Structure 1
Amino acid sequence: MTATENERDILARTLWGEARGESLAGQIAVAWTIRNRVYDGKAKSWWGEGYAGVCQKPYQFSCWNKNDPNYAYLIGVKPIPFREYAQAQIAADQVLAGKTTDPTGGATHYYATTMPRPPVWAKGAKQTLKLGHHVFFKDVP
């Protein structure tokens, strides 16, 4: 699957909204969780179709929730700072082009360590990576 320019933009905006305070490696890891959902091997995925569908699936990536403070930036009401967005675009481009290997070991989920407690879904899931302020998981029940 080749990503469209719109999907590239939505992926980069998602990386900014979810991981703008992370290193490039941290943003790449978040992008890989999205890619892992896009390529989950199912004909009709529960995650959504394509990068835009996966990123904007309701309640999957909180930055796209209408009540999230990042949402106004993601839809263009407020400008995203250029340097922050540029890094997110680099991460998106590297993952879309397959220029990096998956550092998450197949993760389809992550959560920010800044949350007051781990989400319920993390119990019983296999942790694959901790990088920056994110913990990554696969085999989520």
Structure 2
Amino acid sequence: MSVLKSWTGGALILLACAGGLRAEVTVSQSNNQGEVAEQGLMSVLWQERTAMSAIDKRRVTALTMAPAHSKKVANHGALPGLLSAAWLSQQPKATGGAQFECLSRALYFEARGETVKGQQAVAEVILNRVDDPRFPGSICGVVHQSNARGCQFSWYCDGRKDTVRNASAFARVAKVARAMMDGAPRSLTDGATYFHTLRVRPRWSHRFDRTASIGHHVFYANPIRTASN
């Protein structure tokens, strides 16, 4: 497929998702063909930009995200939509670099007592944050993010030594981390970028859309906004 066809197809998809948004444009009647072509291109780019602004970021991410697979998970071409203990038991020991280690440790300290589904949901939040320009662009950056009020993930700066004491639990969450990094679908939390445990009700929760309640966690995403609001 040519670059032009690919770009045009993407623009048409985005325009369709925006609900048929249309721009009123006036093309110059100049005899200068270069000038007319330039104005035509600018009008198309303006329409695409307007359409993009009308689409919620969660929908844009879903349309454009193409996960990269890895050879480190057995049968990576058939990653299940929902991970399970049975599927994980058939996978080899999960390994990876620094980003894999950060995600594995985050799942261990945040969700090692959860079901596989609950661990997958927490992994979704971290990976969704990586894809969101409002957060750091790497897994380790997201997990270690902090500000004057403290860390985004409290275990990272609670003053305690972050020692993995349950090797079997870590091995299990590491497989979840590996599968999610390798492209397992993020199908549980509807684009959530926040979560908290059922034991608390933070003040910030009312500002976001509640998208799921899985295990001991409640998940939230930024409110969907359109051009009309």
- Where on the TM-score scale, by shorter chain, does this alignment land: which range? 0.7 to 0.9
* Structure 1 residues without counterparts, runs of 5 or longer: none
Aligned to 1:65: 157
Aligned to 1:122: 205
Residues 58-137 of structure 1 mapped to structure 2, 5 A cutoff: 58=146, 59-67=151-159, 69=160, 72-73=161-162, 78-115=163-200, 118-137=201-220
1:81 CA displacement = 1.1
State which of 129, 140, 144 in structure 2 corresponds to 1:37. Answer: 129
Identity %: 30
1:79 CA displacement = 3.6
State which of 142, 145, 166 in structure 2 corresponds to 1:54. Answer: 142
**Larger radius of gyration between Structure 1 and Structure 2:** 2
Q: Report the TM-score, using the length of structure 1 for normalisation.
A: 0.82
The CA distance in 2 between the partners of 1:54 and 1:109, in whole Å, is 12
Q: Deviations over 1:45-84 (max 9, x none)?
A: x4223000011102111111142x4xx12xxxx3431111
Q: Report the TM-score, using the length of structure 2 for normalisation.
A: 0.52
CA contact (8 A) 1:10 1:55 kept: yes
Residue identity in the other structure for 1:84 = A
CA contact (8 A) 1:129 1:135 kept: yes
The two structures, once aligned, show a CA RMSD in angstroms of 1.9
* Structure 2 residues without counterparts, runs of 5 or longer: 1-66, 71-95, 224-229
Aligned to 2:118: 26
Aligned to 1:8: 100
Q: How many residues align?
A: 127
- Normalized per residue, which structure has more helix? 2
Greater than 4 Å deviation, 4+ residue runs: 1-4
The CA distance in 1 between the partners of 2:203 and 2:106, in whole Å, is 23
Structure 1 position 138 matched with structure 2 position 226 = no
